[in-house]
Structure 1
């Protein structure tokens, strides 16, 4: 809990500070006087006033936002000798730049974070396919498990293998698959042995990217050897004589290719509430053994609390199953790493906008909206995994914050840019009455979005 809170506060404070600093630096560059630069709301913890500019810098107790207060005739009287430094008298171009600088700073931070990760190298899973889900698109396409993907791309009649993009990691592949599913496009895979496979993802009519989507595609995870991990005391694995490091070769003479397949065979061992004895053939450091394993029977809930009594029975053996997938370090040079950071930021921004658009027209579930509880949970989890995972989390949230603030909603930066667009097209600003009406609409939409996100948080974490 302490790590989660600390990681969440650090992430939020950093991203807000970068956002507001973008506004601040652009305002100063445009000759606007900044009265106050504040990170957070509520009681002020730290305060410092610049002797040179007169700007007050403040850090407040609640890091849930921030603001840059500029000299503005609409908020307070301005001395004649300082009127030229007021925000409201600046030319339209300057006002647009000042308002846009905040979201663009967040997107720029994401580019930098992705670039840093690319330069330093990130541990990722090798793009070797695990055994596909039975009846899935991948199984229908001919995937059996163990294939290594070298290139992939959206399918087209005249697509040559060289036109496919290089796949360096399993994460590269899942990103492409999610983009293709949402776009309603089929995917072509080029394997290391030269074989080409076509995944018919256009038939999915995908509305969101989640575990259910990848189960329908059939590629849930990279290949993980069916190896026994820690064996729990007094479990079925210990009773059968299984040891940590045992590699399972077959169950009841059925060859086992990866850990997911082994877990499914164990789960299916008690269909009627009585566990069936399974004949396992294992490789123990080069010694081949045959062991009889009788999984324990447990009841797995199939729904809410009212359905728990009627849950289905599944088998468990009391041991962790699955070796870590084969990993590699993905690293880029200085220019390529920076460019890949730009590309990644663009791709994530585009997918975020597409998902928001699909939610507006009802083609994507509102469950995609996440609030502060989910963000805090992911902050803690990513921080526990190490610096690289935490920086990746920061980059993703920074993109989301930048894109969200560019939405054309009053109260957001995008809403102000919408006013300036009207001013640029008509030659006159939006009236105060018009802005007041639009702001009421904006407040309603934002409160609605935050309410849905909070309900999703509670359901996701505690439901």
Structure 2
């Protein structure tokens, strides 16, 4: 069943993205007076064909659905059969350089517009997200140095002392605001509420490099969702947790006197204490009026000492501590909903931020500052399509918007064969007044094709490596 969901979600995602991208080319080409011969979804043998009696365009659905194309009337592609004189004004190559530029750029732009609409729908219909409550930060992290103790709810962010204060609605909202400030190397002031009122915390992001801004960005700053319940979901037989008396349902309140309400921070602490005794404050989880493990009363706070077992971490090769307990975190959540105008504004801002992030990430991969493992192919896309579809409409629409942005950015890269390569030709033509010769276009096309094949091979390898944990 999961495989079927993944395949259906992947087919819907690719179908929507390809149709929107190619329709961008098609609509602007028609607007510029270019005759479109074929609009194809997919490659290879046609499965369905229909010719529009009004425009003469052949609409096709082909066997291999990984892409599509729009074929326009062009003298360079019909040398064997001359184009009738009355159709020559509708040929793509007869149009001005800026009209050709607009036609080619329309595909990626359509992907960005789709992302804005999808994000706006998510923001307008509402989504449940973790609240912006901070867990106790790890020592010496920027969050700890700023003065956070854990349990504070961040309500606003402003840039510097004179910047305009922006409301923080959720953890995701906080992450995006801090991400933008980190990219711009700014100092921010976070307003947070706790039991004693509202306080300001200064967070200096000017020293961060682009290498620091990745998927683990918030953890690097010391920010993890907090304010929830960290409970034991299961215990492995023979583990340190079982020997110490931990059982499913127990709530972890503190470790070595440090309050804990976040699995990531707790696991990091345990990993750093391999072979060293730690003390857990535990609240027994059996229902009220019943006995907990070994006859102990439910709801009672109890200190448990144990020694994390030293094991080799497959990712780093280092010895780390593990107690053999499965953890579950229940963090406070909030329903976030925006008005129509604000939803569009936020959708445009989110699309811009993600597009800029994608370009910077790709640049970092080129210069070797980011791993090529960040590239993903169709297998990973299908996997995430299925997972997001199972999470609900909001998650799937957000995933669709993210892939649409990635597709738009990819096609704008100045690589021959892609839209960006053609746009580069047209810019050269606009500046020099001369068309890039067919000979040089052929050379660049071969080089561009080699780049695309290499990127595709790396992405496919990464997909397979994730499947077999290579």
> TM-score over 0.5 for the alignment?
yes
- Report the CA distance shift for 1:391/1:30 in structure 2 as closer, same or farther (over 3 A): same
1:201 is aligned to 2:205: yes
* Corresponding residue of 1:350: 356
Tell me the TM-score normalized by structure 2: 0.85
Q: Which runs of 5+ in 1 are unaligned?
A: none
* Corresponding residue of 1:259: 262
Give the counterpart of 2:66 among 64, 67, 88: 64
Q: Any residues of structure 2 matched to 1:132-171 within 5 Å, and which?
A: 132-154=137-159, 156=160, 158-159=161-162, 163-171=164-172
After TM superposition, the structure 1 stretch with the greater mean CA deviation from structure 2, 114-123 or 355-364, is 355-364
C-alpha distance in structure 2 between counterparts of 1:85 and 1:432, whole Å: 21
Q: Structure 1 residue 327: deviation in Å?
A: 1.2
Q: Structure 1 residue 354: deviation in Å?
A: 2.4
C-alpha distance in structure 2 between counterparts of 1:47 and 1:32, whole Å: 21
C-alpha distance in structure 1 between counterparts of 2:435 and 2:409, whole Å: 25
* Corresponding residue of 1:322: 329
C-alpha distance in structure 2 between counterparts of 1:359 and 1:241, whole Å: 44
1:225 is aligned to 2:210: no
After TM superposition, the structure 1 stretch with the greater mean CA deviation from structure 2, 386-395 or 411-420, is 411-420
3-state SS in 2 of match to 1:130 = coil
1:289 is aligned to 2:277: no
After TM superposition, the structure 1 stretch with the greater mean CA deviation from structure 2, 359-368 or 439-448, is 359-368
C-alpha distance in structure 2 between counterparts of 1:400 and 1:426, whole Å: 31
C-alpha distance in structure 1 between counterparts of 2:14 and 2:62, whole Å: 13
Q: Structure 1 residue 399: deviation in Å?
A: 0.9
3-state SS in 2 of match to 1:357 = helix
1:404 is aligned to 2:407: no
Give the counterpart of 1:303 among 303, 310, 314: 314
* Corresponding residue of 1:174: 175
C-alpha distance in structure 1 between counterparts of 2:415 and 2:255, whole Å: 58
Contact 1:153 1:164 in 2 (8 A): yes
3-state SS in 1 of match to 2:275 = coil
Q: Structure 1 residue 262: deviation in Å?
A: 4.7
* Corresponding residue of 1:215: 219
C-alpha distance in structure 1 between counterparts of 2:315 and 2:455, whole Å: 26
3-state SS in 2 of match to 1:4 = helix
Give the counterpart of 2:43 among 41, 62, 65: 41
What is the root-mean-square deviation in Å for CA atoms of aligned residues?
3.0
C-alpha distance in structure 1 between counterparts of 2:281 and 2:110, whole Å: 60
Q: Structure 1 residue 290: deviation in Å?
A: 4.2
Q: Which runs of 5+ in 2 are unaligned?
A: 289-297
Q: Structure 1 residue 356: deviation in Å?
A: 2.5
C-alpha distance in structure 2 between counterparts of 1:381 and 1:301, whole Å: 30
Q: Any residues of structure 2 matched to 1:383-462 within 5 Å, and which?
A: 383-461=389-467, 462=469
Q: Structure 1 residue 394: deviation in Å?
A: 0.4
- Report the CA distance shift for 1:283/1:372 in structure 2 as closer, same or farther (over 3 A): closer
How many residue pairs get matched? 449
* Corresponding residue of 1:125: 130
Contact 1:240 1:291 in 2 (8 A): no
C-alpha distance in structure 1 between counterparts of 2:406 and 2:343, whole Å: 21
* Corresponding residue of 1:184: 185
3-state SS in 1 of match to 2:66 = strand
* Corresponding residue of 1:380: 386
3-state SS in 2 of match to 1:195 = strand
* Corresponding residue of 2:292: none
3-state SS in 1 of match to 2:416 = coil
3-state SS in 1 of match to 2:300 = strand
C-alpha distance in structure 1 between counterparts of 2:120 and 2:105, whole Å: 22
Q: Structure 1 residue 144: deviation in Å?
A: 1.3
- Report the CA distance shift for 1:159/1:13 in structure 2 as closer, same or farther (over 3 A): same
3-state SS in 1 of match to 2:76 = coil
3-state SS in 2 of match to 1:176 = helix
* Corresponding residue of 2:291: none
Q: Structure 1 residue 23: deviation in Å?
A: 0.9
Contact 2:235 2:246 in 1 (8 A): no
Give the counterpart of 1:55 among 47, 57, 60: 57
